[in-house]
Structure 1
Amino acid sequence: MPFSPDHIAELNLLSQFESSSGQAGIKVHRHDAAPETVEAAQRLFAKGLITQDDGGYLTPLGSEAVELTQKLQSIITT
């Protein structure tokens, strides 16, 4: 099953979080962020990966997802 454009947008947003720090969040500014980024944040929030529908902090599940995203990115870029 290929990754959909929505999945790619979610992975790209997850990759912006720092996995080493639970204290570093992000903010998706609806007025100037790309629509796919805004929608990705809303989907990640609905899935329980981030604490706010416009970013916020990673949940424990979100932290795990970021680690896996970084591993996948490392594997496919080497």
Structure 2
Amino acid sequence: MTFTNNMIAELNLLLKFPDTSLMQGIKVHHDAEPELIAAAQRMFDKGIVTLPDGGYLTDLGHDLVEHAQIIATAFSHPPG
């Protein structure tokens, strides 16, 4: 399995959520990039966020953010 463009957009959106507080969310505005708007809707449909335009992370969303951060950190380190 490979990451699709939709998956990458969703991972990038997950990484935009604040990681300092569970009580902070995001709002994807209607004039945002279409890929971002679509990613937010898909994440809502999957039960990852509370609103179609972002909102707060669900329990599943919090778990996924942790994994996304680990992947992003691992890929950002230079080899060696």
Same fold by TM (over 0.5)?
yes
Check whether the contact 1:19–1:63 (CA below 8 A) recurs between aligned residues: no
Which sections of structure 2, spanning at least 5 residues, go unmatched? none
Q: Which amino acid aligns with 1:24?
A: Q
**RMSD of Structure 2 on Structure 1 (CA):** 0.8
Segments of 4+ in structure 1 off by > 3 A?
A: none
Aligned match of 2:39: 40
Distance of 1:11 and 1:23 partners within structure 2? 20
The number of residues matched between the two structures is: 77
- Secondary structure of 1:10's counterpart equals helix
Q: Per chain length, whose mean CA-contact separation is higher, i.e. which structure has more relative contact order (CA < 8 Å, sep 6+)?
A: 1
Taking every aligned residue pair, what percent have the same amino acid on both sides? 51
Larger Rg: 2
User: What residue identity is the alignment partner of 1:74?
Assistant: T
Unaligned runs of 5+ in 1: none
Deviations 1:15-67 (A, max 9, x none): 0012331111000001x200000000000001100000000000011000001
